[in-house]
Chain A
Amino acid sequence: MPELILILLIPIMPFAAFLLLGLANGNFIKRWAGAIGTGAILVSAGAALLTAYDYFFVYGGSGGAYRKILVTEYEWLQFTPEISIKMGLLLDPVAVMMMVVISFISLMVHSYSICYLKGEQRFNIYFSYLGLFTFSMLALVMSSNIFQMYIFWELVGVSSFLLIGFYYQKPSAVAAAKKAFIITRFADLGLLIGILILAFEAKSLDFEAIIGQFGHGKSASVSTSSAWLGISTISWAMLLVFIGGAGKSAMFPLHVWLPDAMEGPTPVSALIHAATMVVAGVFLVARLFPVYYFSAPEILNLIAYVGVFSALIAAIIACTQTDIKRVLAYSTMSQIGFMMFSLGVSGFGEEGLGFTASQFHLFTHAFFKALLFLCAGLVIHEVHSNEVSKMGGLRKSMPLTHISFLIACLAIAGIPPFAGFFSKEEILLAAWERNKPVYWIALFTSALTAFYMFRLYFLIFRNSNKHLHQPEHREGSAGQMVPLFVLAAGSVVLGLIPFGRFVSSDGRPLATELHLVFSIAPVLLAILGVSTAAWLYNAPGNRPQEVSQRLGNLYKAAYHKFYIDEVWLFLTKKVIMNGIGKPAAWFDKNVVNALVNFSGNSTIGLASKIKKLQSGKVQLYGMVYLFTVIASVLIIIFFINRN
């Protein structure tokens, strides 16, 4: 059976690091903050790996399927006899897989950050925030109760806010942090309402109870009993829950915060905005997948289209951006779109290839995207700029970084035998089997992926006719290079894991096989994308400018991110400000304020009238006293005589 102490250790260690580094202020702590944080995560990652091994190979499976194991649970808040909020630890294949990814990537990022942020004023605060984030993310995936998960969901948002705004002297970082927090908070409102409706319908907040009630074929009649606008209540709830997930996972149209979030330190982008936090939405949909599949199929369909649309526009925008981290951010958004639509097209049980593929892609993507960001961090350190136009020919001064970046690019582009190839193939296969339009868009997008990743690669590491900078640091230090190599090794070999054997929609092993014939088209398209990028960017002359001029308005629109930011600004500044904000402000100023001021002013007026009574003259007091006594005696005598 699961060992409670071992499992508890996984989230507790980062939390302890957070408290220690955040509260202590000694010089010793400040100097060794990085080592302390990394040590804590090392323990946590070790415990996570042990737990994963035990779960998958020792106690998790029974009767040919992986069970959901409730490790511990206690009642925290009771609202009504039926509904209570419990705190618990739930292990299932998805949670265990996420646990390993989070603690492992976090370990890599911790180790990398020690050198990356050396000499920073708030060195220990940085590691304390990282600890807080890792703790909340681990607790999020292990939650047994949807409300408990919501608590950690918000904590994750807070730590993301704190880390984006880590360089708080930079106005752009502050703005980005606020933007990220407000947009995800706005989306979380949907999640909260969805949770409340779910709790009302299912009479419970536990994942198991909710899935037990709505996550099987017989539940359809229950959920369609009440409907609004032709959609059942449970579907509305699941739609609202998905809005929360879309906010965190940067799905269109709530994605605008993710590119701006790149203002944070680069390792933070690797950990939070590439590998872990942004896939929380995918995790949420995966957790509630049976409910989506059986009780809200129309919402699942919507998820598929939102996912594939996000993947497409993000890939188009990524082709035009010139800031290295923004390109990576849009690529993250595009890859999360892949995971989302893969869930959206998935079936259940035997048909659940999409589910497995989505989780597989989440797993491999975490490795190669974190690797890309960590490499980008080294490159930015070297040239002191985020602009790709300032880079070029770096493969000579940074050969090891170059190799790592190349491996990650090959992985994300889906070139065999790198990890991304296997997961992306599965996603495309799932889409091909169940939804043809989604498949064609996804195929085009994966070609674009190869193009924009290699555009980045050629602009940074090749194109050596430019010598814009003097090499300074060359490679990073050992603490930075080791994570790079580990992640690069992961990006190469992890695709060979028979993922369907471990993670599937119903816990039963799913046989996934590679159809070589099917793979020909995606791989050819990927190679086409790579060679287009090489033709455009690895050649003298200015072919890119010519092509972008040829494309005209399409290029301009993509360069300006399809004006989605402007639409949001128009909506918030013009429509909401003038339509709701200003009338509300008027009401506040002229009605609420007036009432409050009136009560205050009338009290002051009355007080100034009667304060004269307190004159300080003893004889006056005596006189008042005497006549009061006489008057009261007279009144008493009068009443006594009357009776």
Chain B
Amino acid sequence: MNTPGLYHILFISTALFFIGVYGFFTRRNLITILMSIELILNSVCLNFIAFNKYVWPEKLDGVFFTLFIIAIAAAEAALAIAIIINLYRSHNTIDVNAAEEMKY
């Protein structure tokens, strides 16, 4: 077997990205939407790693960015879950369509 090249990894990350986008648009459950966002973030991380490894192997910038993104994703997940819990308390549901009071 050949070792996987840059294009394989880019394909996987693109696929992950659009799976995440699809999930973001179609799911109604806020937890699932949050998971979709994580998928999108992970696809971006994968991109950074792949480009770092195949294009500038002597540098570490991509790895650092990935670490940043993981940290930010953790913080974001904590915030999002706090929001979801509050929504559940007030609306008794975590359906995203239930939270549309902020309109005209």
Residue contact A616 to B103, C-beta cutoff 8 Å: yes
Residue contact B104 to A619, C-beta cutoff 8 Å: no
Q: Which residues of A contact B100 (CB under 8 A)?
A: 615-618
User: Which residues, 585 to 636 on A, are CB-close (under 8 Å) to B?
Assistant: 611-612, 614-619, 622-623, 626
User: Which residues, 71 to 104 on B, are CB-close (under 8 Å) to A?
Assistant: 96-97, 99-104
Closest residue on chain A to residue B97 by CB atoms: A617
Q: Which residues of A contact B101 (CB under 8 A)?
A: 616
Question: Is B25 an interface position by the 8 A CB rule?
Answer: yes
Q: Which residues of B contact A617 (CB under 8 A)?
A: 96-97, 100
Residue contact B103 to A619, C-beta cutoff 8 Å: no
User: Which residues, 2 to 57 on B, are CB-close (under 8 Å) to A?
Assistant: 21, 24-25, 33
Q: A611-B104, A612-B104 are in contact. Are A618 and B25 (CB under 8 A)?
A: no
- Closest Cβ of chain A to B26, distance in Å, is 8
Residue contact A623 to B103, C-beta cutoff 8 Å: no
- Closest Cβ of chain B to A587, distance in Å, is 38
Give Cα A619 to B23, complex, Å.
Answer: 10
**A615 touches which one: B21, B33, B96, B103 (CB < 8 A)?**
B103
| 0/1 string, A153-170, CB within 8 A of B gives 1 | 000000000000000000
Q: Which residues of A contact B24 (CB under 8 A)?
A: 619, 622
Q: A619-B25, A623-B25, A626-B21 are in contact. Are A614 and B104 (CB under 8 A)?
A: yes
Residue contact A622 to B103, C-beta cutoff 8 Å: no
Q: Which residues of B contact A615 (CB under 8 A)?
A: 100, 103-104
Give Cα A616 to B96, complex, Å.
Answer: 10
- Closest Cβ of chain B to A613, distance in Å, is 9
Q: Which residues of B contact A614 (CB under 8 A)?
A: 103-104
Chain A interface size range: 10 to 19
Give Cα A615 to B103, complex, Å.
Answer: 5
Closest residue on chain B to residue A608 by CB atoms: B104
Residue contact A616 to B102, C-beta cutoff 8 Å: yes
Give Cα A617 to B96, complex, Å.
Answer: 8
- Closest Cβ of chain A to B30, distance in Å, is 9
Residue contact A619 to B21, C-beta cutoff 8 Å: no
- Closest Cβ of chain B to A291, distance in Å, is 69
Q: Which residues of B contact A619 (CB under 8 A)?
A: 24-25, 33, 96
Q: Which residues of B contact A612 (CB under 8 A)?
A: 104
- Closest Cβ of chain A to B34, distance in Å, is 12
Q: Which residues of B contact A626 (CB under 8 A)?
A: 21
Give Cα A569 to B55, complex, Å.
Answer: 97
- Closest Cβ of chain B to A222, distance in Å, is 72
- Closest Cβ of chain B to A380, distance in Å, is 68
- Closest Cβ of chain A to B85, distance in Å, is 17
- Closest Cβ of chain A to B76, distance in Å, is 15
The contact sample of 22 A-B pairs, CB cut-off 8 A, is A611-B104, A612-B104, A614-B103, A614-B104, A615-B100, A615-B103, A615-B104, A616-B99, A616-B100, A616-B101, A616-B103, A617-B96, A617-B100, A618-B96, A618-B99, A618-B100, A619-B24, A619-B25, A619-B33, A619-B96, A622-B24, A623-B25
3 closest A-B pairs by CB: A616-B103, A616-B100, A611-B104
- Extra inter-chain contacts (16) besides given A615-B104, A616-B101, A618-B96, CB under 8 Å: A611-B104, A614-B103, A614-B104, A615-B103, A616-B99, A616-B100, A616-B102, A616-B103, A617-B96, A617-B100, A618-B99, A619-B24, A619-B33, A619-B96, A622-B24, A623-B25
